[in-house]
């Protein structure tokens, strides 16, 4: 890729580790006072989970999954819960990196997505066109 070129990050919200009690707080409407201002930044982001639909359109299981993803999305913008380390690691080094982190005491270390130079040609596994690394 070109230095300073355009990239896209794809985050798998279902893989995002959350602090104990964080999901429950969001579900109850408990947020930091700074979270709404931070969430305004999401207007510049493309969300890939379904925006709504409800039980009638997708069924109870699909609605529960959509709500879970929206809750995790909200946590990305809460300054009290978004202080974790985020690193981009070349795909071939991901497992070794995660193993080292977990051995070092970071039990919730997880691969939560990928960064790609051109997602229009890249598959979700990180194979295909564009350069990918895991985050």
Per residue in 74-97, pLDDT (tens digit) is: 888 887 765 567 888 999 999 999
| Residue range 34-44, pLDDT digits in tens | 888 888 877 76
Residue range 103-118: average pLDDT? 88
Q: What pLDDT sits at residue 97?
A: 95
Among 45, 42, 49, 47, which Cα is nearest to 66's? 49
Q: What is the largest CA-CA distance in the chain?
A: 47
| Residue range 26-62, pLDDT digits in tens | 889 888 888 888 888 777 676 665 554 444 456 788 8
89-109 burial by CB neighbour count: b if 16+ within 10 A, else e? beeeebeeebeebeeeeeeeb
By three-state DSSP, how is residue 36 classified? helix
Q: Which two tokens stand for residue 49?
A: 């989970």
């Amino acid at each position: 890729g070109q230095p300073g070129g355009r990239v896209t990050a794809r985050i798998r919200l279902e893989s995002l580790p959350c602090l104990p009690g964080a999901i429950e707080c969001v579900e109850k409407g408990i947020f930091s006072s700074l979270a709404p201002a931070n969430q305004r930044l999401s207007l510049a982001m493309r969300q890939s989970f379904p925006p709504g639909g409800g039980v009638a359109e997708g069924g109870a299981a699909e609605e529960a999954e959509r709500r879970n993803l929206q809750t995790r999305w909200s946590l990305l913008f809460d300054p009290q819960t978004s202080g974790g380390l985020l690193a981009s690691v070349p795909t071939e080094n991901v497992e070794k990196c995660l193993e080292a982190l977990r051995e070092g005491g970071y039990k919730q270390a997880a691969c939560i997505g990928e960064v790609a130079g051109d997602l229009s040609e890249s598959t979700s596994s990180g194979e295909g066109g564009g350069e990918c690394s895991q985050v």
